[in-house]
Amino acid sequence: MSNFRRVDEDFFDDLEETLIKADVGAETAFQLTDELRDEVKLQNAKSKEEVSKVVLDKLVEHYEQQGINEDATMHFAKSGPTVILFVGVNGVGKTTTIGKLAARYKQEDKKVLLAAADTFRAGATQQLQVWGERDGVEVIAGSAGSDPASVVYDGVQAAIEQQADILFVDTAGRLQNNQNLMQELAKMKRIIERELPEQPMEVLLVLDSTTGQNAIQQAKLFKDSTDVTGIVLTKLDGTAKGGIILPIRNELHLPVKWIGLGEQVGDLQPFNAKDFAQSLFG
């Protein structure tokens, strides 16, 4: 018994440290750990597995109460195409997420088109075309170096003509020239709004969870320049914890809509409080 108690205390010490490290905030971390300790006693959990389960359930309840799942859904037009614009810096996983999400919606019998509006980076269009072939969906592309806004225009026209349900737009992510990139994104958005004035649009900001605080800086930057409607948090299959979700929610008020859990087509899940709790804890 005394042996178990020690294991128990080590467990809660680790948990407290994890919560602090995951940017939950020290005060909340202490309070939450106390509540979890009480709950474990109350439930009379004995083995490590039982303790883990009680803690996980309680964490899920806590985050659900905080409204962490609020507005994590995607908004689609009742009829006609909905455009989903993907923004974020190079390498975070925009193209991969589009490939995964396109496959998912195609499976739901939606007509999907892709637009390769990163005409800046060599190979970006080709990479999207690989996903297009794999998913069996058409990719609208321009020539290298062409105006990305014109690719977006062509994509929207194709979506209207072909009565597509969803047009995914892949965009550039060069950070070395912020201002140009933000202007470019604003131009794309204007074109979409002009061509499809009645339709809802999603602007999903993709963030790499392994970059920690950097991801929060990126989120601020993009939020100031484009009307981001949600976050995709990628690479949660590695060692990264999902702790940055909390500051993103609390400071930037942006919902996390999807999480990326690998490089394969099936490695994408809608975000929910349980995943979040597990990512903190696991």
Stretch that binds ligand GDP, among 16-24, 41-49, 94-102, 136-144 (CB under 6 A): 94-102
User: CB of residue 83 vs ligand GDP: minimum separation in angstroms?
Assistant: 18
Stretch that binds ligand GDP, among 1-9, 132-140, 186-194, 254-262 (CB under 6 A): 254-262
Per DSSP, which regions of the chain are E strands? 82-87, 112-117, 138-141, 166-171, 201-208, 230-234, 256-260, 268-270
Residues 193-232 that bind ligand GDP (CB under 6 A): 206
Given a contact cutoff of 8 angstroms between Cβ atoms, the answer to whether 204 and 85 are in contact is: yes
Structure tokens at 112: 């999907």
Determine, following the binding rule CB under 6 A, whether residue 96 of this chain makes contact with ligand GDP: yes
State in angstroms the smallest separation of the CB of 262 from ligand GDP.
5
Q: Is 171 in the site for ligand GDP (CB under 6 A)?
A: no
Q: Tell whether residue 92 is among the known ligand binding residues.
A: yes
* Separation CA 114–CA 48 (nearest Å): 47
Q: Is 173 annotated as a binding residue?
A: yes
- Least separation in angstroms between CB 141 and ligand GDP: 15
Q: Does 257 bind ligand GDP (CB under 6 A)?
A: no
Is residue 266 near ligand GDP by the rule CB under 6 A? no
- Nearest one of 251, 255, 241, 264 to 19, comparing CA atoms: 241
| Binding residue for ligand GDP, selected from 261, 273, 277, 280, defined by CB under 6 A | 261
Answer yes or no whether residue 269 interacts with ligand GDP by CB under 6 A.
no
235 is in an annotated binding site: yes
Nearest-approach distance from CB 114 to ligand GDP, in angstroms: 12
Identify which range of 2-10, 195-203, 217-225, 255-263 contacts ligand GDP by CB under 6 A.
255-263
Nearer CB in complex with ligand GDP: 79/217:
217
Q: Residues of 247-259 as b/e, b for ≥16 C-beta within 10 angstroms?
A: bbbeebebbbbbb
CB 236 within 8 A of CB 279: yes
What residues have CB less than 8 Å from 92, skipping those under 6 apart?
173, 206, 207, 208, 211, 234
Q: How many residues bind ligand GDP (CB under 6 A)?
A: 19
Nearer to ligand GDP, 136 or 238 (CB): 238
Per CB under 6 A, does 126 bind ligand GDP? no
Count Cβ neighbours within 10 Å for each residue of 130-165 and write b for 16 or more, e otherwise: ebbeebebbbbbbeeeeebbebbbbbbebbeeeebb
How many angstroms separate the CA atoms of 103 and 186, rounded?
27
Would you count residue 241 as binding ligand GDP (CB under 6 A)?
A: no
Nearer to ligand GDP, 16 or 184 (CB): 184
Distance CA 261, CA 278 (A): 13
Shortest CB 181 distance to ligand GDP, Å: 13
Tokens describing residue 145: 């170096």
DSSP string, 164-204: -SEEEEEE----TTHHHHHHHHHHHHHHHHHHSTTS-EEEE
Does 234 carry a binding-site annotation?
yes
CA distance 87 to 47: 45
Q: Is 210 annotated for ligand binding?
A: no
Catalog residues that contact ligand GDP under the rule CB under 6 A. 88, 90-96, 173, 206, 234-235, 237-238, 260-263, 267
